[in-house]
Chains A and B, each alone.
Chain A
């Protein structure tokens, strides 16, 4: 409950953030909504001598939808994702996923950037961003670069982001067709036992494209290219769904914890993916 002492910084622009990260190196960490970092600090699993609060940093807020491209500032909260009508029209899967993340209070504070940068495989947004083929903008001492969501996660809590970089924005093409974010959890606010993000396109009765990613079934989110391919060109009949499930089961690597043993998680993954595909297909 009692975090270790730290020096608090509240810079107003990104240049000052980068300067602080360069000055303090490993001893500094940025904080967005604080709803993963502060709990870790309270348990002393994270000790951060220099805490850099991003709340006043200009340019990290805001949702834009223009020419079919969606851009989310890293400091956009889950609450804002849910409330934004333009986003609900352009990419309704964001609202569907945000509503199964945490609880109202946490959603007022927790940000989309923090959710994806955290690196916890339990977070829901990283898998969703892989499904959407999103790009993450990282700003560091050498300027800006973009990393594909599909290349961003390396291992639990390990990402492509360098210590002196800050994730500033997320962008993706507004997805066409049907969508679903389906999550099995023990109760409100729990991380997924298994969750599936599905986007697919239908032309006539045939699936013309599909993207599938799974949450909390490995130490990183799992975008399964083979699962998407298993649906493409089919009528999404039982055989095709079964092939997609098999492809996902070949790609995931869940571990046993108090959400259940590996065999159970693999079973749940199949059920959840089947439901997500069905719902996305109905909406396509």
Chain B
């Protein structure tokens, strides 16, 4: 058993500090040390993307990063993207377009989609499917997830135009 490390993270805008073994995977650190149980664990081979969070501007599968590696990083989880009384456009759009059923993939899907739209604000259907390919869903068949992201992109673009 190795010694615990003093871990400092900035999560959803707040500084968080805790002790953890280096081998703890970031997903477990978020869920068990910080009680951020939105990101989920759907596999043990880095395929499903249910654990996706944003780390220093990258979409990362937090099951494939040790908490030690993330030490000092800035992280956004689904809990930092919107609030129940103030949903992010993507969250509202997933609701509106029935982009979720069981909801288990949804935190990873939406977190990944925020980054996708940041990099490509006007994606084609193909761009969305390819850009979301690291996230597996067992319920929706993806069709409504694509619609949700398309609708969110349209709304975010018109909001941006209106602001300009």
Contacts and interface: CB of A to CB of B under 8 A. Distances in A.
Contacts, number: 88
Contacts of A188: 133-134
Contact of A34 (B52, B65, B71): B65
Interface string B20-31: 011101000000
Interface residues of A, number: 30
A104 B112 CA distance: 9
A109 B64 contact: yes
A101 B116 CA distance: 18
B118 interface: no
A53 B41 CA distance: 24
A106 B58 CA distance: 10
A106 B134 contact: yes
B69 A189 contact: no
Contacts of B162: none
B2 A8 contact: yes
B34 interface: no
B26 to A, nearest CB: 10
B62 to A, nearest CB: 10
B22 A7 contact: yes
Count class of interface residues, chain B: 20 to 34
A189 B47 contact: yes
Contacts of B71: 10
B1 interface: yes
Contacts of A106: 46, 61, 64, 134
Contacts of A53: 68-69
B109 to A, nearest CB: 12
A1 B62 CA distance: 12
Interface in B88-143: 112, 116, 131-134
Contact of B46 (A39, A55, A104): A39
A102 B61 CA distance: 12
Nearest to B134: A103
Contact of B58 (A4, A8, A102, A109): A109
Nearest to B69: A53
Contact of A105 (B2, B23, B25, B52): B52
B59 interface: yes
B45 interface: yes
A35 B23 CA distance: 15
B64 A7 contact: no
Interface string A18-52: 00000000000001001100110111000000010
Contacts of B52: 105
Contacts of A11: none
B35 to A, nearest CB: 20
Residue from A1, A8, A10 with most neighbouring chain B CB atoms (10 Å): A8
B66 A38 contact: yes
A42 B61 CA distance: 14
Given A7-B22, A8-B5, A104-B112, A35 B64 contact: yes
Given A3-B23, A5-B21, A31-B69, 7 more contacts: A5-B23, A34-B65, A51-B66, A53-B68, A103-B49, A105-B59, A105-B112
